[in-house]
Amino acid sequence: MEKAVGGKTIELVLGDIVRQEVDAIVNAANPTLLGGGGVDGAIHRAGGPAIIEECQTLRNVRGECPIGEAVFTSAGRLPARYVIHAVGPVWQGGENREAELLASCYRNALRIAAKLGLRTVAFPSISTGIYGYPTSEAATVALVTVASFLTSEPQAPDRVRFVLYDTLTFATYAGALDAL
């Protein structure tokens, strides 16, 4: 399923982000940048040790990656060219700036993509796994933030793909994209 926004495209697919042949995939990272479970673990398993080595260097030089921010590395053995590591918020009930921090995490990942001149970027559903963000609220934040970036930034990628890992998450994003 896809939707045109400002001459660009938002696309939803059911699948595994490590298999995407795009300019960059986005990792739902944690502030340590040293790997974790969920999509983060899958990316490091499939991409090999080069990615974690670059993450370690970034961490030694710049320290932890704050919630809402993002950094990038190469993509090791993955078919993508880059991995953009974006740190989403842990859900704490919704009163701790979660929506603002989640939006900022998507925006900062897209800023990196724009700066690198990338045309296609794939995102997972950031924060809705181990971090516990309710999927329907996260889907709205994710899609509104991406659509607004695509319509306002001339250097934005042409195509943003959300790669959803299970049918319930896919259906939730599909409903939110319809409502956009």
Closer CB to ligand ADP, 133 or 149, in the complex:
133
Query: Which part of the chain contacts ligand ADP (CB under 6 A), choosing from 39-47, 73-81, 104-112, 145-153?
Result: 39-47
Torsion angle of C-alpha atoms 72, 18, 47, 86, degrees rounded to 10? 20
Closest CA to 110 of 120, 100, 101: 120
Q: Is 126 in the site for ligand ADP (CB under 6 A)?
A: yes
The neighbouring-strand residues paired with 4 are: 9
Q: Give alpha helix (H) positions in the chain.
A: 38-47, 49-62, 98-115, 135-152, 167-179
Q: Is 130 in the site for ligand ADP (CB under 6 A)?
A: yes
x/- mask, ligand ADP, residues 42-61, rule CB under 6 A, reads x-------------------
Q: Is 137 in the site for ligand ADP (CB under 6 A)?
A: no
Catalytic-role residue among 23, 40, 166, 178: 40
Q: How many residues bind to ligand ADP according to rule CB under 6 A? A: 21
Write down the least CB distance from residue 130 to ligand ADP, Å. 4
Burial of residue 99 (CB within 10 Å: 0-12, 13-18, 19+) is: middle
Residue 91, classed as helix, strand or coil, is coil
Helices and strands (H and E) in the chain: how many: 5, 7
Binding positions for ligand ADP, 74-113, rule CB under 6 A: 88
- Annotated active-site residue 158? The verdict is no
Closer CB to ligand ADP, 68 or 88, in the complex:
88
Residue 15: how many other CB atoms lie within 10 Å: 14
Write down the least CB distance from residue 89 to ligand ADP, Å. 9
Q: Is 38 in the site for ligand ADP (CB under 6 A)?
A: yes
Q: How many residues does the chain have?
A: 180
x/- mask, ligand ADP, residues 146-175, rule CB under 6 A, reads -----------------x-xx--x------
Longest dimension (CA), the chain: 43
Q: Which residues are part of the catalytic machinery?
A: 40
Q: Kindly list the residues in this chain that would bind ligand ADP in the complex (CB under 6 A).
A: 16-18, 28, 38-40, 42, 88, 124-131, 163, 165-166, 169
